[in-house]
């Protein structure tokens, strides 16, 4: 146990000294991708430049969705009922080790239900646990809040690739048919692997907490910023405008209309299975409007919620540019064919898992790149005699594995926690180095 802590601390010192900011990492990955496209995929420099610049706007819709995930979730967390729930959850931690284990478990459990919910709720829970347990190692606490995005989301109920291939009319239905989720998400293999990973990483979080004399506590200035939300005071002047802004009427009307639409949508589209990012954002917004009570209170909360969006707005276009290079230059095909050439029927699932992790580090797309990679991966699986559901699962697990060491999805969390990615990277690297070989072994056994 102490050895793991020393390794994490050594990696933390290394990352603090040599790992730059998340923006710098995105720029370096952009340059590396350009070099690979020109040197390995033989793409002309002009094509690489055009695909990079044009790609900046490929993910505008997704970027706005992610901004709204953070914004609406933050709004909801500032309401009195949600603050009470988060306080109660934070109160379950009786010791610093218990606090980080609790954070790891909650992050992974919520990510299994919905990755957007985990991203928001875990970020909000950090502030409450830090206030309750200022003796916890703050870096490790924030790192554990990120576990769900790297360990369970693509094995759970919001998993992009498994849900897509189970949906009638998906783009590969003519060639492979439908793969129901009882052969992927609810297969004994996936359920057992998910349970094992959640248990293992929760125990690892407990074991990684440093001794009291080595704990890096939350900065008092940061703790003050994580303080309670103070509602606006009602002005002394009396007018129709003041009454409207400080009355519950408009919020209630908006909230009732939103709940009616949400109920009708779920009724007409198959219940909770119809949940997607837009519906989650809409639900968060409607609940936030209702629970804040008045327009004035909602607006003040929105001003605070807007302060955590800078990382998304600044850096997501850079990753969209990388995505544009991968899509336009054939670089994804080159990487995929390399991994396929190294495969046999028994090793193919593990190879797909590793391949998906490599590509995900450059293009952390949340599963959207499956549309580019699926045709040749499934064709290779067919030639090797490997069941397609094994490929889907291996791809899904690989697609989230390297999220643990990639700052893309951590940006909203880091904005709330007021930390840099390098502050938590040491602990995440230890988790990754424990997690990766175990899951790789599982896919070798599956093959």
pLDDT tens digits, one per residue of 373-409: 777 788 788 878 889 999 999 999 998 989 999 888 8
Cα(146)–Cα(26) distance, rounded to whole angstroms? 19
Does any domain span residue 237? no
pLDDT of residue 437 exceeding 80, the answer is: yes
Least-confidence region, from 63-67, 124-128, 221-225: 221-225
Does any domain span residue 289? yes
- Give me the long-range contacts of 177-185 (CB less than 8 A, separation at least 24): 179/388, 179/389, 179/392, 183/389, 184/159, 184/389, 184/392, 184/393, 184/396, 185/155, 185/156, 185/157, 185/159
Does any domain span residue 236? no
Q: Where residue 148 falls among pLDDT bands split at 50, 70, 90?
A: very high
Does any domain span residue 239? no
Cα(171)–Cα(175) distance, rounded to whole angstroms? 9
Q: Where residue 277 falls among pLDDT bands split at 50, 70, 90?
A: low
Q: Where residue 435 falls among pLDDT bands split at 50, 70, 90?
A: very high
Cα(207)–Cα(383) distance, rounded to whole angstroms? 44
Least-confidence region, from 38-42, 67-71, 146-150, 428-432: 67-71
Give the pLDDT of residue 376.
74
Residue 138 host element (H or E): helix 138-145
pLDDT of residue 369 exceeding 70, the answer is: no
The count of other CB atoms within 10 Å of the CB of residue 64 is 15
Q: Which of 396, 418, 417, 412 shows the shortest CA–CA distance to 197?
A: 396
pLDDT of residue 63 exceeding 90, the answer is: no
What's the predicted TM-score (pTM) here?
A: 0.79
Does any domain span residue 398? yes
Does any domain span residue 238? no
Give the pLDDT of residue 367.
59
- DSSP letters, 138-187, are HHHHHHHHTHHHHHTGGGTTT-HHHHHHTSTT-TTHHHH----GGGTTTS
Give the pLDDT of residue 234.
83
Does any domain span residue 233? no
Measured in residues, the chain has a length of 447
Cα(261)–Cα(275) distance, rounded to whole angstroms? 13
Give the pLDDT of residue 273.
61
Give the pLDDT of residue 368.
60
pLDDT in tens, 160-202: 788 778 877 766 677 778 888 888 888 999 999 999 999 999 9
Give the pLDDT of residue 102.
97
Q: Where residue 228 falls among pLDDT bands split at 50, 70, 90?
A: low
Cα(58)–Cα(366) distance, rounded to whole angstroms? 14
User: Number of folded domains in the chain?
Assistant: 1
Does any domain span residue 235? no
pLDDT of residue 227 exceeding 70, the answer is: no
Give the pLDDT of residue 275.
64
- Which two structure tokens, joined as six digits, stand for 47? 């094509």
Give the pLDDT of residue 225.
66
Q: Which residues contact 62 (CB under 8 A, 6 or more apart)?
A: 316, 366, 368
Cα(90)–Cα(104) distance, rounded to whole angstroms? 12
Cα(223)–Cα(221) distance, rounded to whole angstroms? 5
Share of the chain above pLDDT 90, in %: 37
Give the pLDDT of residue 365.
64
**Count of H helices and E strands in the chain?**
24, 0
* N- to C-terminal Cα separation, the chain: 32
What is the rounded radius of gyration, in angstroms, for the C-alpha atoms of the chain?
23
Domain that includes residue 421, residue range:
1-227+244-446
Chain centre distance of CA 29:
19
Most confident of 243-247, 275-279, 318-322, 361-365: 243-247
pLDDT in tens, 79-128: 888 888 888 999 999 999 999 999 999 999 988 987 777 887 888 899 88
Cβ atoms 15, 425 nearer than 8 A = yes
pLDDT in tens, 292-335: 999 999 999 998 888 778 777 888 888 888 888 988 888 877 87
Q: Which residues contact 437 (CB under 8 A, 6 or more apart)?
A: none
Cβ atoms 114, 148 nearer than 8 A = no
Instruction: Tell whether the torsion through CA atoms of 359, 160, 156 and 446 is positive or negative.
Output: negative
Cα(200)–Cα(141) distance, rounded to whole angstroms? 16
Cα(67)–Cα(56) distance, rounded to whole angstroms? 16
Q: What is the mean pLDDT of the chain?
A: 86
Give the pLDDT of residue 226.
60
Give the pLDDT of residue 261.
95
Q: Where residue 248 falls among pLDDT bands split at 50, 70, 90?
A: very high
Cα(344)–Cα(357) distance, rounded to whole angstroms? 19
Give the pLDDT of residue 397.
95
Cβ atoms 55, 321 nearer than 8 A = yes
Chain centre distance of CA 160:
12
């Amino acid at each position: 146990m102490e050895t793991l802590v020393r390794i994490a601390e050594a990696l933390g010192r290394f990352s603090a000294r040599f790992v730059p900011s998340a923006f710098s990492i995105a720029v370096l990955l952009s340059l590396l991708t350009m070099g690979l496209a020109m040197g390995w995929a033989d793409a002309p420099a002009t094509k690489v430049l055009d695909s990079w610049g044009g790609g900046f706007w490929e993910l505008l819709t997704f970027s706005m969705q992610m901004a709204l995930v953070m914004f609406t979730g933050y709004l909801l967390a500032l309401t009195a009922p949600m603050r009470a729930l988060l306080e109660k959850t934070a109160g379950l931690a009786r010791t610093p080790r218990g606090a980080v284990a609790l954070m790891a478990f909650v992050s992974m459990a919520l990510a299994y239900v919905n990755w957007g919910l985990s991203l928001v709720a875990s970020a909000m829970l950090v502030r409450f646990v830090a206030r309750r347990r200022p003796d916890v190692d703050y870096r490790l606490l924030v790192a554990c809040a990120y576990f769900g995005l790297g360990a369970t989301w693509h094995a759970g109920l919001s998993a992009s690739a498994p849900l897509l291939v189970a949906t009638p009319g998906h783009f590969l239905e003519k060639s492979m048919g439908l793969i129901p989720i009882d052969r992927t998400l609810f297969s004994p293999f996936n359920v057992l692997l998910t349970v094992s990973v959640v248990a293992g990483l929760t125990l690892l979080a407990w074991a990684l907490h440093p001794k009291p004399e080595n704990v890096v506590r939350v900065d008092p200035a940061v703790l003050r910023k994580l303080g309670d939300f103070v509602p606006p005071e009602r002005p002394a002047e009396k007018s129709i405008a003041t009454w409207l802004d400080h009355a519950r009427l408009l919020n209630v009307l908006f909230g009732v209309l939103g709940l009616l639409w949400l109920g009708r949508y779920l009724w007409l589209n198959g219940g909770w299975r119809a949940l997607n990012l837009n519906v989650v954002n809409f639900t968060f917004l409607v609940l936030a409007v209702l629970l804040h009570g008045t327009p004035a209170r909602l607006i003040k909360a929105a001003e605070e919620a807007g302060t955590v969006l800078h990382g998304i707005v600044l850096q997501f276009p850079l990753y969209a540019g990388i995505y544009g290079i991968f899509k336009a230059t054939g670089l994804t095909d080159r990487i995929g064919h390399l991994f396929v050439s190294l495969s046999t029927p028994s090793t193919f699932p593990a190879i797909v898992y590793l391949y998906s992790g490599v590509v995900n580090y450059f293009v952390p797309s949340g599963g959207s790149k499956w549309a580019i990679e699926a045709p040749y991966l499934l064709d290779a699986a067919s030639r090797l005699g490997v069941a397609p559901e094994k490929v889907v699962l291996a791809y899904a697990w690989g697609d989230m594995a390297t999220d643990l060491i990639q700052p893309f999805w951590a940006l909203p969390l880091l904005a709330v926690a007021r930390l840099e990615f390098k502050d938590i990277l040491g602990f995440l690297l230890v988790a990754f180095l424990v997690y990766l070989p175990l899951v790789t072994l599982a896919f070798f056994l599956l093959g």
